Chain A
Amino acid sequence: MSDEQIFLSELSDDELVQQMHDDLYDGLKEEIEEGTHILLERGWAPYKVLTEALVEGMRIVGEDFRDGILFVPEVLLSANAMKAGMFILRPLLAATGAPKQGKMVIGTVKGDIHDIGKNLVGMMMEGAGFDVIDLGINNAVEKYMAALEEHQPDIIGMSALLTTTMPYMKVVIDTMKEKGIRDDYVVLVGGAPLNEEFGKAVGADAYCRDAAVAVETAKDFMKRRHNTRSDR
């Protein structure tokens, strides 16, 4: 930590981006907002700000979280700073037709009120630049379907902590199949009693053992989507 005052506007582009990586790491919301504005004023494309300043900064945060250096509350602070930057960029990204970072609808399935894990996943996804719509707990298939219709996400995330509620994921996926919309979405599932095998058995695209894996998996699928459908 240094005592000297830093004026973001006086930094070169490279220095500013480096500084924003540090500020994201430290979870400094206002500083990230200011840095985002400055880069935009200097004529940076919104997508370049997003990828080079924000997403790259959060990649470092994610790595250090994975390696046990950063703790949950610190990562949530970083994610919050990231969200603030995203808030500025989102309309500009849409207007310039930049590739989307991705949108996810997530909720715990019918009968399940365990939501600590789901909340953590949601916040980490937001931290990685995803647009997250949280459906809360105890979601019946109808609620998922309505949310898909309303929000047109790329990803649907389902969480379950009970062996009695896990099978409900299949109900949701089967309904998507019946409606012929299964392949329009990436389906990610998670929760402590699940495993890889279960994910496959219910027909999900992937099982995510923790929040960090959820973010990585979501990013992977978004990359593939961009490659296969340049329209989205």
Chain B
Amino acid sequence: MSAIDSPATRRRGGRTSLMAARGAEKTPRLSTINYAIKPVEAVSADQLERIHLASLAILREIGIDFRDETALRQWREVGADVRGERVHLEPDMIMGLISKAPRSFELRSRDPDQRVTISQETLTFGTMQGAPNVRDVNGVRRSSTMEDLRDVNRLTQMLPGFHVAGGFTCEPTDIAVPWRHLHINRSSLVETNLPYFGLTTGQQRAEDSIAMARIAYGEEFMKSNAVIIGQISGNSPLVWDATMLEGLRVYAEANQVVLLSPFVLGAANTPADVAATAAQLNAEALAGLAYTQLAVPGTKMIYGQYSVSVSMRSGAPMSGMPEVSLLNVLVGQLARRYGIPWRTTASQSSAKTFDPQSGYESAIAYMSGATAKSNLFLHAGGWDEAGLVCCLAKFVADAEQNLLIAKYAQGVSFDHFDDALEAIRRIGPGGHYLGDAFTLKRFKEAFISPELLDYLSYEQWKAKGSKDMAQRCREKAKATLESYEPPQIDVAVREELDAFVAKRQNEISPSLA
């Protein structure tokens, strides 16, 4: 064959060099994921309009409570109809305010090369938040501590499947409540270099969160760059309360991102009807989003929502349900109508162990978010027991799932279509592609090969110790923690963070009384 290259260029170094290359192969952290799939839609354009109009009617006729003096004053100043705490909003005012929101923005990390764009065309993964318990690397469930939170942050930093650190992924219950937020923020900044969620429950905690971010990123930098997100939960039905609104203003004034999440417990704090629940949720979101733009025009914001249905046997929240999937699709359709990126709850489950229920519920939540084209997959790491536990085994499993979902979202590529068609000609009927040059060239990228899901034969699996998924994931979590490499951080910055924590601890009493 004339086309054979000279030996000098063909030789690749055999086993030694391949082993070295495979060993060094590290899945890089996900960068911005651009959607290339078309979103599914649950309702027609007319039906969507009905929901949208119902939301506007709710806000105009029933009104919504803003339990916060500053917000009420601001609404009055722009001529909204404010009666006590109840604010009645005209559609034009709402839509006018919302149009001031940026449609796309960047989240920055301490690694200058790691930038994530949040828009309606992109997909971002963040870990779970708020667990009072962990199920640790030994599978033991217990109250979480500061060391657990640090471990979770270390995993977040090491695993390639996360763009955003959850911040308060699990609670450091061994630290006095009034001091906790300081240590949570410190860990986000020291153990990871990713954009992260700060604390929002009240003015002080929000201000401290921003102050600490400024130590790490610089005040100037943060004037024009977002690094921290504030999660602002609505109190459905139809209430935004002071604690959260104070937090919202602090983040918005610092030019950082706010995520406004109405909170659906279907049939408990919304009507027992999917379309009407969407109308209420959307009314709450619109009011919160509009208020954000009233407080600080141009604020980067995400249309949030947390949706579960409620077991009518006990009142307990249920994830992975078909009604919740439909709500996701509806919110996606609505958010696209308004041009605002939106959030889903990615990997939630109510299971008590990392078992089939956990897998089923999470898989459904993931897929319903992806097919509905959600832009921020929150809780995409660790969430079991309806948010009451952060399971480290699930955390690493979810991190891997994020890679699979990212691949799915990026849709079907035509970049290699013609070459691949050539391969069909080459092989023809019968035959196989396993040894074909095109397969050899493309196999690594074309089909993803997860590490934690098991595809061995029964005998192979037995020979490897008969480990179930949870055990494999616990081992992976352990190994990842053992190989943890802290991100680069200036000694001076670290010292300043420590000094800030010490200073604030001096100023704030650790007692709740």
Contacts and interface: CB of A to CB of B under 8 A. Distances in A.
A68 B269 contact: no
Contacts of B513: 141, 171, 174-175
Question: Would you call the interface of chain B mostly helix, strand, loop, or mixed?
Answer: loop
Contacts of A72: 310, 312-315
B222 interface: no
B315 A117 contact: yes
B313 A68 contact: yes
B265 A116 contact: yes
Interface string B327-341: 000000000000000
A33 B314 CA distance: 28
B271 interface: no
Contacts of B315: 72, 116-117, 120, 211
Contacts of A110: 512
Contacts of B268: 116
B104 interface: no
A198 to B, nearest CB: 9
A210 interface: yes
Contact of B173 (A71, A117, A163): A163
Interface string B264-297: 0100110000000000000000000000000000
Nearest to A121: B315
A73 B312 contact: yes
A167 interface: yes
B191 interface: no
A164 interface: yes
A111 B171 CA distance: 16
A73 B310 CA distance: 12
A164 B388 CA distance: 14
A25 interface: no
Contacts of A65: 313
A136 interface: no
B15 to A, nearest CB: 53
Given A164-B201, A171-B512, A113 B235 contact: yes
A193 interface: yes
Nearest to B133: A193
A65 B311 CA distance: 12
Contact of A192 (B171, B243, B388): B388
A163 B265 contact: no
B41 interface: no
A164 B269 contact: no
A168 interface: yes
B132 interface: yes
A193 to B, nearest CB: 4
Nearest to A71: B312
B188 to A, nearest CB: 17
B154 interface: no
B180 interface: yes
A48 B265 CA distance: 40
B177 interface: yes
- Most B CB contacts (10 A, CB to CB) among A120, A163, A168, A192 go to A163
Nearest to B511: A171
Contacts of A211: 315
Given A116-B268, A116-B269, A193-B388, A163 B171 contact: yes
Nearest to A141: B513
Contacts of B201: 111, 164
A164 B265 contact: no
Contacts of A175: 513
A193 B132 CA distance: 6
B313 A164 contact: no
Contacts of A164: 171, 177, 180, 201
B301 to A, nearest CB: 22
A53 to B, nearest CB: 27
Contact of B314 (A113, A141, A163, A210): A210
A170 to B, nearest CB: 8
Interface centre among A111, A174, A211 (most CB of B within 10 A): A111
A36 B268 CA distance: 31
A133 B276 CA distance: 32
A113 B234 CA distance: 11
Nearest to B387: A192
A118 B314 CA distance: 13
15 contacts: A65-B313, A71-B312, A71-B313, A72-B313, A72-B315, A73-B312, A111-B201, A116-B268, A116-B315, A141-B513, A164-B201, A174-B513, A193-B132, A193-B133, A193-B388
Q: Which 5 A-B pairs have the closest CB atoms?
A: A71-B312, A193-B132, A163-B132, A163-B171, A164-B177
Given A72-B314, A116-B269, 19 more contacts: A65-B313, A71-B313, A72-B312, A72-B313, A73-B312, A111-B201, A113-B235, A113-B241, A113-B243, A116-B315, A163-B143, A163-B173, A163-B177, A164-B171, A164-B177, A167-B177, A167-B512, A175-B513, A210-B314
